[in-house]
Amino acid sequence: MLKWAFVGASNIASEWMVGAVRAAGDEVVAVVSGSAARAAGFAQQHGIAHALDQLDGLRRLELDAVYVSNTNDRHEQAVLLAAELGCHVLCEKPLALDIGAARRMVDACRDAGVVMATNHHLRHNSAHRQMRGLLRTQGLGRLVAARVSHSVHLRAKLQGWRIDNAAAGGGVVLDIAVHNADSLAFLLGEYPVEVMAMSGSSGMGRGVEDQAMSLWQFPSGLCAFTHQGFNTPHASNRLEILGDQACLEARGVLNQTPGGELVWRRADGDLSLRLDHDNLYLRGLRELHKAIAGEDSDMASGEDGLRSLAVALAVRESARSGRRVKVDYA
Ligand code: NDP
C-alpha cells in the first residue's frame, strides 16, 4: 500500500486518479494546490487528510509516491521535490515544456533510486494491448504505415489554460501529440526520427494552436500520419496500423474510458476482436506497482515521457518553421 500526495487540484485527479489510486489499494493522504481554498475544497470532496498550499508542506509528511497533475509548466518543480523526498513519481504528460526540464526530472528520479512513470494511459487500453500482441507475431506482414486520427472536442470545463496559455503548456500539440507518440511507440517499438507538420487555430485556440497534422518517419521506414485537434465535435477517433498482408483498425479507443472497436482486416475477411473494459488508469497504477517491485512493467517510464515530449516539440517546431525537423531525444 502506497501513501500518495497529489500535486495539483486538477480535473484529471478528481475525475480519475483519486478513484484509481484507491482501487489499486493505495491511499491519498495529501493534496497540494497553488490555492488554499482549492486544496481544501478538493480534500473535503475526496476525503483527503492534508490540504496544502505549498509544495514544501510535503516535507512534513510520510509519503511513498507523488502524483503530479498541475499545469505542465509546474511539473518539474514537483517531480524534483518528490525525488528529493525519495518518493516514486507518476507525472502527467507532457512532462514539461522543454527537453532540458524533462531530462532533469528523469535524472533526478534515477539518481534518487525512485521509479518515475508518465501517465500515458492509452497504452493500457485493451485495443493497444491486443494490437501490440498481434504486431509481435507479425500478424500484418511487413509494416508500411500508421494513421492516428485523434481530434476531439475539448470539453467546456477544460477550455482554460489549454487554449490560451502557452506559458502554462497550452496547445493541442503538447496535449495530444505526446499521446500519439506514446501509442505508436508502444505498438511499434520505435519512435520517429523526423517529422513534418502544419498547425493552426480554428477559432478555439487563442495564441496557441488548436489543430495540427503531421507526418512521422520511423527508423524502420514506416511512415505515420497523425492528426490532433481540440475543436471537432462529433469526430470519431481512429488508430490504424497498415501492413502489406493485413491491417488493424481501432475505432473509438483514444479516450479516457475503455471501449471502442478493433478489427483485423485480412485476405480471408474481417475479424472483430473482443475488447475488455478495464479502467485504463487503474491498469496503469497496477503496472506502476510492478515497476516499483522491480518486475517487468508496461507502464510508461519517465524516459518514455521524455521521448513523447521530444516528438511533440519537433512537431511544433516543424509547424512553426515549415521545415522537416529531426527529433531531438537529448
Ligand atoms: P486542470 O485545468 O483541471 O488543472 C490544472 C491546474 O489548474 C490545477 O492543478 C490547478 O492548479 C489549476 N486549476 C484547476 N481548477 C482551477 C480553477 N477553477 N481556477 C484556477 N485554477 C484552477 O487540468 P487537467 O486535469 O485537465 O490537466 C492536468 C494535467 O493532467 C495536465 O498536465 C494534462 O496534460 C494532464 N492530463 C492528462 C490526462 C491523461 O489522460 N493522462 C487527461 C487530462 C489531463 P493548482 O494545482 O494550483 O490547484
pLDDT in tens, 168-178: 999 999 999 99
Q: Which of 221, 214, 217, 128 is nearest to 176 (CA)?
A: 214
Q: In the block, which residue shows the cell 497523425?
A: 226
Ligand 1 centroid to residue 67 C-alpha, Å = 12
Q: Are 135 and 213 in contact (CB under 8 A)?
A: no
Mean pLDDT (whole number) for 280-298: 98
Ligand 1 centroid to residue 315 C-alpha, Å = 23
Counting ligand 1 atoms within 8 A of each CB, the residue from 16, 66, 70 with the most, and so the one to mutate, is 70
Tell me how long the chain is.
330
Per-residue pLDDT at 38 exceeds 90: yes
DSSP 146: E
- Determine which residue's CA is closest to atom 17 belonging to ligand 1: 38
- How many of the other CB atoms lie within 10 Å of CB of 186? 20
* Per-residue confidence band for 235, with pLDDT thresholds at 50, 70 and 90: very high
- Determine which residue's CA is closest to atom 47 belonging to ligand 1: 34
Per-residue pLDDT at 330 exceeds 90: no
pLDDT of residue 203: 93
Per-residue pLDDT at 96 exceeds 90: yes
Percent of the chain with pLDDT over 70: 100
Per-residue pLDDT at 138 exceeds 90: no
Mean pLDDT (whole number) for 214-231: 97
Distances (CA, A) of 293 to 57, 62, 284, 286: 28, 19, 14, 11
Grid coordinates of 191: 519512435
pLDDT of residue 276: 95
Residue 228 phi, psi dihedral angles, 5° rounding: -125, 135
Alpha-helix residue ranges (DSSP H) falling in 98-237: 99-112, 126-136, 161-164, 172, 178-188
Distances (CA, A) of 76 to 99, 108, 232, 305: 11, 10, 31, 13
pLDDT, averaged across the chain: 97
pLDDT of residue 167: 96
Alpha-helix residue ranges (DSSP H) falling in the chain: 11-12, 18-23, 36-46, 75-84, 99-112, 126-136, 161-164, 172, 178-188, 280-292, 302-321
pLDDT of residue 50: 98
Per-residue pLDDT at 290 exceeds 90: yes
Per-residue pLDDT at 327 exceeds 90: yes
Per-residue pLDDT at 139 exceeds 90: no
Ligand 1 centroid to residue 72 C-alpha, Å = 9
Q: Which residues have CB under 6 Å of ligand 1?
A: 8-12, 33-35, 38, 69-72, 92-93, 119, 121, 158, 160, 175, 256
Rounded CA separation 66/3 (Å): 8
Per-residue pLDDT at 2 exceeds 90: yes
